[in-house]
Structure 1
């Protein structure tokens, strides 16, 4: 075999391998995002309603469908009066921005899984 043929086969083989790895990573990422969206929706549909106080709000560098991404530092008050702190990253419609200020009380829903709690904001944007 000539050196040129070996080089061509090596380049094609390398391209196929890297292309396959890239496609696998993309499909895993898409599946993971779909699972996260499903979890968020199920928390909002089936979660326990509660109120939360916003202690800090920070805009993230992301956005979804024109809605800004935010990180909320919350203290959630459960129905039984106990509280727990949490940080939620979500997207909010621009028209809801006045509701999301430090010290504001917002409605959330959460699910408890052992000591871990997953919280979602009721007025957040879910595609």
Structure 2
């Protein structure tokens, strides 16, 4: 865009020079009114507009790619729990920009408070609420941006590592999540134990899992469930799981990040 702006400026200067030369060399009353008048118009209006637009696209708007500012591209992914949400007063096409306060947990076990600003579609406002878990890309100085460019595989891998670092899953459960076979399961029963572990309700889950060959087996597991996942695990719900074909004593349950 800057190259185009400079090209426009050069054209404007050339046309202006011809405009002045033509006007000075003629003796007619309207000598200055000629086709080269486009030169001054380009210098006064078009070129400044082009440079302004180039500045916005190159820096002022952080050269957004896939919804993530350029400086965050390739940055590691962490999980942010929404603490508070407020509107900044800015909107784009009637979609509000939100300032989202987050408690960020990284795969290496660090935690910190940060904030991200994001344009959010009106239909998605319900997903950005206190308690929701949002994936973010983070920089060493603690700044974050929502990881809207990340693939589902990247998000799941980061979530698994964060869960391990916080003690929500065991190394065996992480191994199942990363190496296990995909399968479908139906929740037959969910019974609360009355225990709370790290802010999560501990429940007994009875699952009926369909193997890769179409046969089924039942499994009862004790799980510490985050509040956002409880609606997905009601009796009768179908869920994705992973299991090891040679060891069916435990499964990893895959729930969405933002239900």
> What TM-score, normalized by structure 2, do the two folds share?
0.35
- C-alpha RMSD of the superposition: 3.6
Computing the radius of gyration from Cα coordinates, the structure with the larger value is: 2
Give the deviation of 1:34 after TM superposition.
6.1
Match of 1:91 among 114, 119, 140: 119
1:43-91 Cα shifts (integer Å, max 9, x gaps): 47x4433221222211122223443210111121111221122111101
How many angstroms apart in 1 are the aligned matches of 2:55 and 2:147? 28
Give the deviation of 1:24 after TM superposition.
1.9
Q: How many residues align?
A: 115
Instruction: Give 4+ residue runs of structure 1 displaced > 6 Å after superposition.
Output: none
Higher relative contact order (CA 8 A, sep 6+): 1
> What TM-score, normalized by structure 1, do the two folds share?
0.62
Q: Where does 1:1-127 land on structure 2 (aligned, <5 Å)?
A: 18-19=44-45, 20-32=47-59, 33=61, 35-37=63-65, 40=68, 43=72, 46-102=74-130, 104-112=131-139, 115-122=140-147
- Structure 2 segments unaligned to the other structure (5+ residues): 1-39, 150-259
- Structure 1 segments unaligned to the other structure (5+ residues): 1-13
1 or 2, which has the higher helix percentage?
Answer: 1
